[in-house]
Amino acid sequence: MDATEKYLFEVHGYLLIKGALSPQEVAAANTAIDQHADQIGIRANDLAHESATLRGTQGRGDLGGMLTWEKPHCDPFRQMIAHEKFAPYLEELLGPGFRLEGLSIITMDEGAEGFWFHEGGEPLDRSRGFLYRNGRMFCGMTNIAVQLTDVGPEDGGFACLPGSHKANYPCPDEIRLYEAHQDRMVQIPAKAGDAVLFVETLMHGAIPWRAKHQRRSVILRYNHGVQGESWLGTYTPPDFYGELTSAQQAVITPPKYRGEDKGSRLYKPS
């Protein structure tokens, strides 16, 4: 991250990475989704939390399991989990050995409901915090929303309250439900291939989808190398583990301590 990106992310809690994926990568991912469109699950209208301003005529679509799809349709998503465009940002925010916590696809068709605004700096969630110390940022869960279709300024979709990752007071319900101070929320325009990087503790949600075309966003969730948010039992590598590159394997390994580098002066027990 350069100085400008660090400043903007620290202040706002998010950053738009333009042109993160090439047109070819975007096309391959969309083709793969087209081939598995029958697996998209349409939610009941359960995300607006009875908000009049977030209500829609239908639920959003959720799709998972991309890493296990048949080739070549799994490849675009396997490449994303340790993508060379994302790794420098994740290493800056999460440190060495960042881990993938989750991967999913969100779709929204015209009229799809929004999502009430959740997270925020308070109340504290130890796995999803944000901290600045000694000249650098330390984040808990950090997400990348890769846009596979264009998002115009009036289309709806992902939105957030900039700076709320550092909030010291709980957010009033009328703001979370998008029924007051809507002008403070930011809906982020993006082109297909752009990616929104944001810390999970940033208060975020979605505005009802107004565009004629379908919203398609790949959501990649990461945490630092010693954090496992939903870890239980003994680690068993997935069947496709041997098909991954070493960088891809590294992000799905169990949590463990990793030093900054071989020359670091970090404490090592005797």
Asked if residue 177 belongs to a domain, the reply is: yes
Asked if residue 185 belongs to a domain, the reply is: yes
Q: What is the mean pLDDT of residues 65-69?
A: 97
Q: What is the mean pLDDT of residues 147-151?
A: 98
Asked if residue 180 belongs to a domain, the reply is: yes
Residue 222 CB-density burial (10 A; 0-12 exposed, 13-18 middle, 19+ buried): buried
Q: What is the pLDDT of residue 124?
A: 77
> CATH number, domain at 243?
2.60.120.620
Q: What is the pLDDT of residue 235?
A: 81
pLDDT digits (tens, 9 = 90+) for 102-120: 999 999 999 999 999 999 9
Asked if residue 113 belongs to a domain, the reply is: yes
Q: What is the pLDDT of residue 122?
A: 83
Q: What is the pLDDT of residue 232?
A: 64
What is d(CA 221, CA 53) in angstroms, rounded to the nearest whole number? Answer: 27
Look at 227 and 18; give whichever has higher pLDDT.
18
What residues are paired with 130 via a beta bridge?
A: 139
Q: What is the pLDDT of residue 150?
A: 98
Q: What is the pLDDT of residue 231?
A: 66
Residue 262 pLDDT > 50, yes or no? Answer: no
For residue 154, the 8-state DSSP code is T
Report how many domains make up the chain: 1
Q: What is the pLDDT of residue 125?
A: 78
Q: What is the pLDDT of residue 109?
A: 98
Asked if residue 158 belongs to a domain, the reply is: yes
Asked if residue 257 belongs to a domain, the reply is: no
Angle at 144 between CA 142 and CA 150, to 5 degrees: 155
Asked if residue 163 belongs to a domain, the reply is: yes
Asked if residue 214 belongs to a domain, the reply is: yes
- pTM above the 0.85 mark? yes
Residue 263 pLDDT > 60, yes or no? Answer: no
Q: What percent of the chain is modeled with pLDDT above 70? A: 94
What residues are paired with 132 via a beta bridge?
A: 137
Residue listed under structure tokens 């590294």:
250
Residue 270 pLDDT > 50, yes or no? Answer: no
Domain residues for 43? Answer: 3-250
